[in-house]
Structures are given as structure tokens and as C-alpha cells.
Amino acid sequence: MSVTTRRTRLAAAALAAITAIGGLAACGNDDDKPAAGEKPAKLVVDTFGEMGYDELVKQYEKDTGIKVELRKTAQLAEYRPKLVRYLATGKGAADVTALEEGILNEFKPNARNWADLAPLVSDHSKDYLPWKWELGKAPDGRLIGLPTDVGSLAVCYRKDLFQAAGLPTERDQVSALWPDWKGFHDAGLKYKQGSGGKAFIDSITAVSNGVMFQGNGDLFYDKEDNIIADTSPAVKNAWDTATSMADISAKAQTWSPEWSGGFKQGTFAATFCPSWMLGIVSDNSGPANKGKWDVASVPGGGGNWGGSWLAVPAQSKYPQEAAKLAEYLTNAKSQVEAFKLKGPLPTNLEALKNDAFVSYTNEYFSNAPTGKIFGESVAKIQPTHLGPKHQAIKENALEPALRAFESGQADKAKAWEQFTKDAKTQGAF
Amino acid sequence: MSLSATTAPPSPAAPPSPDVPSRLRRGRLLNRLDVKYSPYLYIAPFFVIFGAFGLYPMVRTAWMSLHDWDMIGDHSFIGFDNYTRLFSDEYFWNALVNTFGIFALSTIPQLLLALFLANLLNRTFLRGKTFFRMAIFMPNVVSVAAVAIVFGMLFQREFGLFNWLLSFVGVDAVDWDGQRWSSWMAISSMVNWRWTGYNTLILLAGMQAIPKDLYEAAAIDGASQWRQFWQITLPMLKPTFIFVVILSTIGGMQLFTEPLLFANGNILGGNQRQFQTLAMYMYEMGIQNLNTAGYGAAVAWAIFMIIVVVSLFNFLLVRRSAK
């Protein structure tokens, strides 16, 4: 879900600057608080991208008689500054607000901005993927987000290029090539040899992403939210695995022109695919390459990249009713409906078992059973504690250092030094 | 209000009323008020808008810079701590060096080229003057985002035009955004492309304001074109030149969009911040990182002070050298 968004981050970044500055004129809400238990005439829902709620809110209006206004923002890069403005001025936020993984993590240190949902809805702690449910909690333990969708993680690969390099092409055989990351690297080396030195994957940052989520213990923070980025074994493991892949990488930074151009040019034969990436891969590869791509499982079995939650801002006048609406939008039935409409992957355990989801295949990707592959991938993730500035450390410390190493700007020791130093400054809160 | 009172024509048919003197006195008073205060009213719109969108944000930023400010959380007064922190902040100095490096790489060649072009366009024998003047200004009309995206493609590592051209002379593909010198060059080329024409036109306007008889007198005395340029054009161009230099300084110190788009929207400006400018660092600290908004405000004020100092320095330098 996160990411139709980051593609046009380019132009949107400039726009974000302007909207952030233009934030003086927040729309004025009348401040009279309604009496407790009073039924609201209207609830507002803020979403970004396509979450597939169009039909669901109509049904909710019919069932409850409460009007629901769905405010959609196409780009995450435009959505975030708006949210920050609502929170900074205390005005204008919707009653139910969709929070993407990165935004949620970033907002967690100021959990007071969000209503604690635990007392407002029934106990759902056993209904969702356990790791996803845990991430919806703030450091102080309050529940601020109900799980909507996940990105999951798989490997997209080019069958024609695999064949030319003498690798198997059947998706089960391909998955069997890499039960672990070592196997993945070996397959990459084999491809490099068979193809006359061509790169196997797009870049190494996706590798670190995948490894970290497989749950080998605390990452950048320990359970008390002290920064342990430089000593954490899980981070070191992700770092070593990622850096070991540099010799099979095309060194094309995700979202860069080299990267998007690489799909058509075949500069790499495999890339890491969350579910929302499938559309981007097919757009970048073009109709000419239809049927050449396929989807295999990720090394180590499980992984995730992206996904969202629904939260209720503390400034909402109807937290009780808003929480009920969020609960409705994230229940098993709704998640299946949303999946059928726009394709976000369910997180509700019951929805994940639904036939419509499990039997789903993707035509562009040689009819790969993506529903099954992605569903299995997220089921294997272990709950991991992410500290308050996890996202900032990952994006502004770990990934730049990995890229600096990958492109030869720094050797391994220098790059590690850069990472640990930046992790400390980025992680301060 | 006072306007309608003074301009309304007196109705000739009106019967003389007993309170004429008082009405006259009132009219005179309004007239005086009109003369005294209306001018302020006329210029008020500018000052109101400047106050709301120029002065207020500046004062507010100064206020924020004295706080430990979380955009969506608490803030507490910490005095000048943010400013003292600036001095030991490695990334602030890094951004400062980058900004000045790109500024030097873009402004100096740009102004020299603009001077050359303006002198060329000022020649009397040149045909199709209007066409050339328009053509030279065109790059400035193009949106900066479009420029940055096109240049970003030209400077691509794998499929970029420049690397393709370099391959003909046997130079290996340059990872343009990977190193400091190459990224600076790429960014300054965008700035130069966009602003050379603009500066040319301003310098040209300055040249045309120089009286022709000076040149005629010099020509009669046997001065060459070259000598005329050095001894008439340049000294007479001094005020225009100061203006152009200060404008370029302000633009150069605030450089933001070009390097940001060159980095594919990444605010760090390269994996090792090779081309993160001051304005980008301000954005990173003040707007992107929610909990360092106060520090970002201090960076903003630092940029302001640097612009003032550099402009003053330029002003003194240009004034002295032109003497």
C-alpha cells in the first residue's frame, strides 16, 4: 500500500515544502464538544493511496445512519505533511486516520496525539497477525492503530534471464534454490557466471530490510528504547547479509531512474517484491515483458515491506464512534472486500484464510498464486519491537551507509562507522 | 470613506442651510486627513502581506529556534543552545561547505559568461537582437522541477547522455551523484543553465543605460573595443553588477530544489551527504524530522545571517575593486 506514492516522491517533495509552509490556514472547526454518547451526524476518514474502502463506508452509512466522508490522498508524500499540520495545530484531522508503517513509527513517541483504542473496541489481540498487532501499540503500551494491510515480501524474477543463465525457471524450484540467504547469494553467483557477469539483484538495501524483519531479536532499540544499533546482533546479521550481496548487485538505488530503467533493460534478474510492488514492476517492465516475470518465496521464508493501520486522533470529537468505524473497516469481512476491490493484503487471520484471497493469481506474473505466496510470507514473521525512531535510523542511517558501501564510496568498516554514528544522531528523541 | 466626502460634487440646487460653516469645516478636516493618511493606506497592502507572510514567519522562526521544539509534541525554552550546537554539528558544516562549493561553481562562471553574452548582445552590428535576447531568457521560464528531472536523466550513471558521450573518448562511466566533485558539477550546471540568461539580460539593461557619447569620445581618442570594455563598460556597470551578485548570493545560499531532485527526492543529498545544501539540512531538521523543529529554525536563522554577511562582503568587494 505504502507506495504508489514514493515513485513520484520527486515532484511531491517540492510540493511538500510548500504545503508545510502554507500550513497557517487550517480550516476552523467549531470547538463545542458534543455531549457524551451523542451520535455524530458525520465521521471523516482520511486515507492515502487506494485502500478499497469506497463500498464499505457506503454499507456502514446504511447500517448505522452515520454519514461517512472518505477523504483520499493519492500520494503519501502529500499525505504526511497534511497529517503533521493537523497534529501541530490541533485542528482538521479526520476521525479515522490511516497511518502507513513509517508514519506510525514516527508518530509513536507522541502517542498522546492518538486515542487509546483498547477500551473503545472489543479485544482483537488474537484476531490479527501477532507481529502486526504489536506494532500498532505505542511505547507506553496504548493501542493506537488497528491493522489494515501488509506489504509482505516475495522475490520477483525474470524467467527468460534465469533460463539464459542456466538457472531453473519453475517457481517452486526457484524458491528451493534459496532456503536461506546463503542459498540466495549462491544462486546470484551462478547467475552472474552463466550470464557473463550480469548483476542478479537491484540493490542490497532490500536485503537488509528482509533480513531484519525475520525477527532475530531487537533491532535498533532494546525493549527499554535505548539505542543498541551498534551492538545488536540482529542488525549486525542484517548488515553482514546485505553487504555480502554487493558482488551480485546492480547498485541501482530503489526509485532512482537507474532502477526503474533497469526493469526494461534487464540490468538485474530478480528484485524483492512486496505485494504493492507488483504493479510497479509491471509498469516499469512494460507490456512487452508480460509473462516473463514470476514470483518466488523470499529467502528465509518470511518478510514484509510496508502496510498500514487505522488510528483515531485524540482531537476527534467522537472517539467512541470513530473507533467503532475503524473496527468495522479492519474486520475480516471488510479486509476481504477491500482486497477484492483494490488488492491490499489482509492482516486479519480469518481473512488470510479466505478462499478469494488464497486462490488469487496474477496474470502479468505468469499467473503466480500471489495470494498464497504473500499470505505465507507474512505468517512466518516473528513479532519485533521497533523503537521510536526506527524508521529514521533505517532510512537515514542504515540504508545510506549500505549504499555508500555498495557503490564503493566507503569500505565496509568506514560504512559501518557512518551507520553507527548516524544511528545515534537520528535515533535521539 | 474620506474620498467620497471630498469628491462628491456639491449639489447646486441645495438650499443654504444654517450649518454650512460646520459642514465646510468637516470637509476641510476630511481633506486634511485624506492628504495625510491616504498614502499609507495605498501602500498598506504590501506591508500587511509582508507582515503576515514575511515578518511573522521570521519572528516565529526566531522564537522557535530558542526552544527544543517537537512539531507534534512539547516544546521547552532552551535559550541559545540550538545555536551553540550548530558550531559542533559536523553535518551543518558539511552542508555549509557544499553550499559554498556549489555556489562558487555556479556563480563565478555564470556571471563571467553572462557578462560576455551581454557585451555580445550589446553590439550594434548584431542582427535579430530580440530573438537572441528572448532565446537566452527561455531557460529561466522553464520550471525548476522540469530542469532538475531532465538534467537528472542526462547525468544518470547507466543510461545518461553525458556518460554515453564520455564513453566515446574512453572515459569510464561517472557515478555523478556518488562523489562530491561530480555531484557539485552536475548541480551547478543546472543552476548555470537556468540563470545565465537572466543575469545576461540584467547586465545588458545596465550596459544600455551607459551613455553612447562616452564610447564615441573614446573611439575618437583611438581606444580599442577591449579598452572601452574595461574602462567604460565595467566601471559604469558597477551598480548593476552589485545587484546581480547579491541576487545570485541569495539564490545560491538557498539552493534547494535542484540538489533535492538530483538526489531523487532524498533530503540527505547523497549517501554521505556529498551535496546536501544548507536549505536541505534546514528542511531535514526543521520539517522532515518532527522532533528537531527548533534546531531546524536555528539553521534557518543561520542561513539568513550567512546571506547577510556574504552579501555585505560581496558589496564591499565589488565596490572596492571597481574603484
Q: Read out DSSP for A202-221?
A: S-SHHHHHHHHHT--S--SB
Spatial strand order in the sheet of A345-346: A67-73, A42-48, A96-100, A307-311, A146-150, A345-346
Confidence band, pLDDT 50/70/90 cuts, at residue A216? confident
Summary mean pLDDT of chain A: 87
DSSP string, B93-134: HHHHHHHHHHHHHHHHHHHHHHHHHHHHHT-TT-SSHHHHHH
Which chain B residue lies closest to A393 (C-alpha atoms)? B289
Percent with pLDDT over 90 in chain A: 61
**Pick from A161, A194, A150, A174: which is nearest to A298 by CA?**
A174
Assigned domain for B209 exists: yes
Q: Which residues of B fall within a CB distance of 8 Å from A262?
A: 158
Which chain B residue lies closest to A392 (C-alpha atoms)? B289
CATH of the domain at B214: 1.10.3720.10
Q: Which residues of A fall within a CB distance of 8 Å from B178?
A: 407-409
Mean pLDDT for the stretch of residues A50-72 = 93
Distance from CA of B113 to the nearest CA of A (A): 29
Interface test with B, best of A113, A253, A264 (most B CBs within 10 A): A253
- Nearest-by-Cβ selection for A257 from B156, B257, B268: B156
Alpha-carbon Rg for chain B in angstroms = 28
Q: Do B152 and A257 touch (CB under 8 A)?
A: yes
Confidence band, pLDDT 50/70/90 cuts, at residue A3? very low
Distance from CA of B225 to the nearest CA of A (A): 46
Is A48 in a helix, a strand, or coil? strand
Q: Do B73 and A256 touch (CB under 8 A)?
A: no
Distance from CA of A421 to the nearest CA of B (A): 11
Which chain B residues in 7-66 lie under 8 Å from chain A, judged by CB atoms?
57
CA dihedral A251, A402, A2, A384 (to 10 degrees): 140
Confidence band, pLDDT 50/70/90 cuts, at residue A33? low
What are A188-210's pLDDT values in tens digits?
999 999 999 999 999 999 899 88
CB contact A87 to B (< 8 Å): yes
CB contact B143 to A (< 8 Å): no
- Nearest-by-Cβ selection for A10 from B91, B156, B265: B265
Distance from CA of B155 to the nearest CA of A (A): 10
Is A269 in a helix, a strand, or coil? coil
What is the 8-class DSSP label of residue B16? P
Assigned domain for B75 exists: no
pTM (two decimals): 0.83
HSE (CB half, 13 Å, CA atoms) of A195?
Answer: 23
Which chain B residue lies closest to A401 (C-alpha atoms)? B271
Clarify whether residues B154 and B238 are in a common domain: yes
Assigned domain for B291 exists: yes
CB contact B70 to A (< 8 Å): yes
Interface test with A, best of B91, B266, B274, B292 (most A CBs within 10 A): B266
CB distance A256 to A262 below 8 Å: no
Residue A36 in this model has a pLDDT that exceeds 80: no
Which chain A residue lies closest to B145 (C-alpha atoms)? A11
| Residues comprising chain B, all counted | 323
CB distance B206 to B237 below 8 Å: yes
Assigned domain for B70 exists: no
ipTM above 0.90, yes or no: no
Work out how many CB contacts closer than 8 A connect A with B: 88
Assigned domain for B37 exists: yes
Clarify whether residues B206 and B277 are in a common domain: yes
Q: Do B72 and A87 touch (CB under 8 A)?
A: yes
Looking only at the bridges linking them, the beta strands covering A270-273 and B75-77 are: unpaired
Is B48 in a helix, a strand, or coil? helix
Mean pLDDT for the stretch of residues B293-299 = 95
Distance from CA of A256 to the nearest CA of B (A): 6
Interface test with B, best of A80, A284, A429 (most B CBs within 10 A): A429
CB distance A10 to B262 below 8 Å: no
Q: Which residues of A fall within a CB distance of 8 Å from B57?
A: 21
CB distance A244 to A188 below 8 Å: no
What are B154-177's pLDDT values in tens digits?
998 878 899 999 989 888 888 888
Confidence band, pLDDT 50/70/90 cuts, at residue B93? very high
Question: What residues contact residue A242 under an 8 Å CB cut-off, 6+ apart?
Answer: A204, A205, A207, A208, A211, A402
Q: Which residues of A fall within a CB distance of 8 Å from B72?
A: 84, 87-88, 107, 110, 113
CB contact A315 to B (< 8 Å): no
Mean pLDDT for the stretch of residues B284-313 = 92
Confidence band, pLDDT 50/70/90 cuts, at residue B34? confident
Clarify whether residues B167 and B235 are in a common domain: yes
CB contact B265 to A (< 8 Å): yes
- Nearest-by-Cβ selection for A110 from B70, B149, B156: B70
Q: Which residues of B fall within a CB distance of 8 Å from A77?
A: 265
Place of cell 562562471: B109
Q: Do A400 and B268 touch (CB under 8 A)?
A: yes
Q: Which residues of A fall within a CB distance of 8 Å from B155?
A: none
Clarify whether residues B30 and B139 are in a common domain: no
Per-residue pLDDT, A181: 94
CB distance A41 to A95 below 8 Å: no
- Nearest-by-Cβ selection for B175 from A88, A110, A407: A407
Q: Do B261 and A401 touch (CB under 8 A)?
A: no
Assigned domain for B74 exists: no
Assigned domain for B149 exists: yes
Per-residue pLDDT, A10: 40
Q: Tell me how far apart the alpha carbons of residues A401 and A323 are, in angstroms, rounded to a whole number.
A: 41
- Cell numbers for A195, please give them: 550470464
Name the CATH superfamily housing domain A154-305+364-427: Periplasmic binding protein-like II (3.40.190.10)
> In total, how many domains does chain B have?
2
CB distance A154 to A377 below 8 Å: yes
Q: Is A154-305+364-427 the same fold as A5-150+306-348?
A: yes
Looking only at the bridges linking them, the beta strands covering B75-77 and A67-73 are: unpaired
Distance from CA of A332 to the nearest CA of B (A): 33
**Pick from A264, A281, A270, A265: which is nearest to A248 by CA?**
A270
CB distance A283 to A277 below 8 Å: no
Which CATH code fits A5-150+306-348?
Answer: 3.40.190.10
Is A313 in a helix, a strand, or coil? strand
Residue B122 in this model has a pLDDT that exceeds 90: no
- Nearest-by-Cβ selection for B271 from A13, A400, A429: A400
Confidence band, pLDDT 50/70/90 cuts, at residue A423? very high
Q: Do B287 and A17 touch (CB under 8 A)?
A: yes
Q: Do A265 and B158 touch (CB under 8 A)?
A: yes
HSE (CB half, 13 Å, CA atoms) of A331?
Answer: 11
Q: Do A109 and B291 touch (CB under 8 A)?
A: yes
Clarify whether residues B57 and B133 are in a common domain: no
Q: Tell me how far apart the alpha carbons of residues A295 and A270 are, in angstroms, rounded to a whole number.
A: 9
* Packed helices B56-65 and B293-321: angle between N→C axes, nearest 10 degrees: 120
Confidence band, pLDDT 50/70/90 cuts, at residue A7? very low
Interface test with A, best of B272, B287, B295 (most A CBs within 10 A): B272
**Pick from A423, A415, A429, A416: which is nearest to A394 by CA?**
A423
Q: Tell me how far apart the alpha carbons of residues A147 and A346 are, in angstroms, rounded to a whole number.
A: 9
Confidence band, pLDDT 50/70/90 cuts, at residue B30? confident
Distance from CA of A109 to the nearest CA of B (A): 9
Domain span at residue B307 reads 82-321
Pick the more confident residue, B58 or B321. B58
Distance from CA of B138 to the nearest CA of A (A): 22
Q: What are the residue boundaries of the structural domains of chain A, listed by start?
A: 5-150+306-348, 154-305+364-427
Assigned domain for B269 exists: yes
Interface test with A, best of B183, B290, B292, B295 (most A CBs within 10 A): B290
Residue A300 in this model has a pLDDT that exceeds 80: yes
